[in-house]
Amino acid sequence: MNPAAAAKASVLDLAPVVPVVVVEGIEDAVPLARALVAGGLPAIEVTLRTPVALDAIRAIADAVPDAVVGAGTVISARNVADAVDAGARFLVSPGWTPALLDAMSASGLPFLPGVSTASEVVALLERGVGEMKFFPAEAAGGTAYLKSLAGPLPGARFCPTGGITAASAPGYLGLRNVGCVGGSWMLPADAVAAKDWARVESLARDAAALR
C-alpha cells in the first residue's frame, strides 16, 4: 500500500498485525521499522515508554516513508501534542478519559482509544467513535469476550492488544468485530539485541500472512 493510500485507510485495515514496539536504543528505530515494513507490516505502534520514543517516531517518519508510524501508550494531551510534533500518523491509548478523547480527536489523526468493558465501548459509540483498542486483551476476556460484544455492539471494531501471540492471533482475527491485532512476538528481545533484522523481517512476514 502506498503512503497516500495508507493515510486514508483505517489503522485497523492496514495489516492483520500492528507491531507494538518499545524502542530502547534510538539506533534501532530505523532498521527495525524497515524490517517490519519489508515483512509486510507497515503500521508500527511505537510506545511512549522510553526516553527515546519520540525521537524514534521522528526518525522512522523521516527515514522510512512506507511506514505508517503511530504513538502508543498515549495517556495525556501532552502526549498527543508531542506525538503529532514527532510525526506520528495515528494514536493509541491503553484507556481513555473525556479529556484525552477530546485531545486525540482534536489532533486530526486516526486514534484507537483503549477499552476493556462494554460500558466503555458504549460510551465511545455515544461519542461517535467506532474503532478502538481492546486492552489488555487476554487478561480482559480474550476472544470469548470480544465475540460476546459483537451481537449487542455491532458498531464497534477492535484492535485487541495485550498478551497476544502468533498462536492466539488467528483466533482474534477470525472474529467479525476485529480488524487487526497488536503484538510484539515478531520482535523477540534476543533478535533486537543482536540486531538480527533479517529474523525480524521473517517473523513480520509470517505475521502479515495470518489473514
Catalytic residues: 45, 133
Helix axes 98-106, 77-86, angle to 10 degrees: 20
What is the side-by-side strand order in the sheet with 91-92?
111-112, 91-92, 68-72, 43-47, 17-21, 181-183
What is the side-by-side strand order in the sheet with 157-160?
114-115, 131-134, 157-160
Return d(Cα 32, Cα 176) in angstroms, integer: 31
> Cell digits for 119?
460500558
